[in-house]
Amino acid sequence: MNKENYKINNYGLLISIFISIFVIFDNIRSAIMLKLFNVDFIVIARVNYFFIVCTILFFFTNVRQKKYDMKVLYLLIISIGFSMISLFMKSSTINDYIIVIGCYMIPILLLGGRLDNYITSKFFNCALNILNILTFVVLFLGIIDYLTKGMTQLFLANIAYFDDRYKELVYMNLNGIYRYFSFFGHPLRNAQLFLIFFICNNIFNKYFYTKINSVVISISTLIGVTISNSKLGVLLALILILVCNTNNSKKKYLYWIVSIIMIIIFVNSNLFYSTVIERLSSSSDLTSGRNEIMSAMLDGFVSKPGLLGDGLYYSYYVRLATGSGATSFEYPFIMFAYDLGIISTIFMYGLITVYPIILLIYHRNFYLCFMYIILLADVNSYNGLTNPGDFMAQFCFITFLFLNIDKIIIENSKS
């Protein structure tokens, strides 16, 4: 394979991967499978087989061209090995093996891939255009949904776009404090999308050229996380808006002034009061019952996770056993530890957290590192990474993009 073919193959694979997880993502695939084939099995409807194939092809292409960090592969093999032992010890079904490997492990393969700078720049530009369209569509429908008191999410529920659990949540939501369930998914996943939108656009503006005005990015993000009604999402968005200013020195003070004025106006608006403030005032527990699970575990009311796991979804039984008011466990690290075991989880989290942070700090790319930590904090604040579907794939893909942008910055600084 010559160098030009390598570029074409890698670019094509990346576009295919991105479209499979951000355009034809899990919710859309599940709805299609249910509507056309009346199939709602998780292993068929939510496991992204196209993504798996493309990622494996991408891996082999990069290994062949010696553009892959083999440490990622070696550590991932250890994590997979201990996960398989845990599943085998608990007589797990073949579906459990498929979900663990396809939804949790294969996405991590992306982290070792290294691209030519030209491919990274070209792909980032294309992917960001698609991401922006997705985000603005979700935002536009969200504003309509808020103004019509939930008509768009009610429509999605009535046409069976959501599964039964999400339908129940939507109906409860419409009779209580407003939260935005979109075609992209749960309110917390929507908030994650808006944070990714902010992060990726500001990175692009800083290191390439200005695609969208910083104030427009900030306003869109703030509205998005507010209608999503994610408490941590709003806090992280405010931090990003105030700290991650990509304007040049002549404009940054103006941006800060505009941002502070915008935030003051926004937090005093009816939108903010009818969503975030109302949700905060409705409960004294900011963690929505999740800390009760942790307390029960630490106090010995439920067993602690072991070196080997107790099988897929065991963490859900732990949640029920605590008798807490939490609707979800929502601590991915602990959930993986219960399901797949502490050993497997340590290697997994070493790859998706420690590995990128060490690389970014080592290269003294503190701006990218801060952005990554913000995203990391968000995805670990709810059980997104542990859900079958494209959650882990989306996060690992953005992390992979971070690492390759870091490569561009390092090489440009040496030239």
CB atoms inside a 10 Å sphere around CB 243:
11
Rg of the chain taking only CA atoms, in angstroms: 21
396 vs 398: CA distance, rounded Å: 5
- CB 225, CB 197: distance < 8 Å: no
Tracing tokens 């103004």 back to the chain, one arrives at: 147
Encode pLDDT of 121-163 as tens digits: 999 999 999 999 999 999 999 999 989 988 999 888 888 788 7
Encode pLDDT of 7-66 as tens digits: 557 889 999 999 999 999 988 888 887 777 666 666 777 889 999 999 999 999 999 989
Q: What value, to the nearest 5°, has the Cα angle with vertex 87 and ends 85 and 92? A: 145
Residue 258 CA neighbour count, 13 Å, CB half: 14
338-355 core/surface letters (b: 16 or more CB in 10 A; e: else): bbbbbbbbbbbbebbbeb
Strand partners, 182: 185
Both tokens assigned to 356: 């990128």
- pLDDT score, position 168: 82
276 vs 262: CA distance, rounded Å: 17
Examine the pLDDT at 291 and tell me if it is beyond 80: no
Contacts (Cβ under 8 Å, ≥6 apart) of 52? 102, 106
Which residue, among 14, 125, 15, has the nearest Cα to 67 in the 3D structure?
Answer: 14
pLDDT band at 382 (very low <50, low <70, confident <90, very high): confident
Residue 67 CA neighbour count, 13 Å, CB half: 20
- pLDDT score, position 276: 72
255 vs 234: CA distance, rounded Å: 19
pLDDT band at 246 (very low <50, low <70, confident <90, very high): low
Report domain extents, the chain.
132-288
Both tokens assigned to 33: 């499978």
- CB 1, CB 49: distance < 8 Å: no
* Backbone angles phi and psi of 67, in degrees to 5: -120, 40
Encode pLDDT of 92-107 as tens digits: 899 999 999 999 999 9
- pLDDT score, position 370: 94
pLDDT-above-70 percentage for the chain:
88
Per the model's pLDDT, the better-predicted residue between 356 and 268 turns out to be: 356
Query: What mean pLDDT is predicted for residues 305-313?
Result: 89
- pLDDT score, position 369: 95
Q: Rounded mean pLDDT of the chain?
A: 86
- pLDDT score, position 327: 56
**101: helix, coil or strand?**
helix
Examine the pLDDT at 247 and tell me if it is beyond 70: no
Examine the pLDDT at 250 and tell me if it is beyond 70: no
- CB 197, CB 224: distance < 8 Å: yes
Query: What mean pLDDT is predicted for residues 361-390?
Result: 91
Examine the pLDDT at 226 and tell me if it is beyond 70: yes
Per the model's pLDDT, the better-predicted residue between 414 and 108 turns out to be: 108
Tracing tokens 């084939």 back to the chain, one arrives at: 37
Query: What mean pLDDT is predicted for residues 389-403?
Result: 95
Which residue, among 105, 266, 249, 134, has the nearest Cα to 192 in the 3D structure?
Answer: 134
292 vs 312: CA distance, rounded Å: 22
Q: What value, to the nearest 5°, has the Cα angle with vertex 397 and ends 225 and 139? A: 25
Angle between helices 249-267 and 214-228 (to 10 degrees): 30
- pLDDT score, position 16: 94
Encode pLDDT of 188-217 as tens digits: 999 999 999 999 999 999 998 888 988 899
- CB 221, CB 239: distance < 8 Å: no
- pLDDT score, position 304: 84
Which residue, among 233, 216, 133, has the nearest Cα to 179 in the 3D structure?
Answer: 233
- pLDDT score, position 295: 72
**32: helix, coil or strand?**
helix
Encode pLDDT of 316-346 as tens digits: 888 777 665 555 667 899 899 999 999 999 9
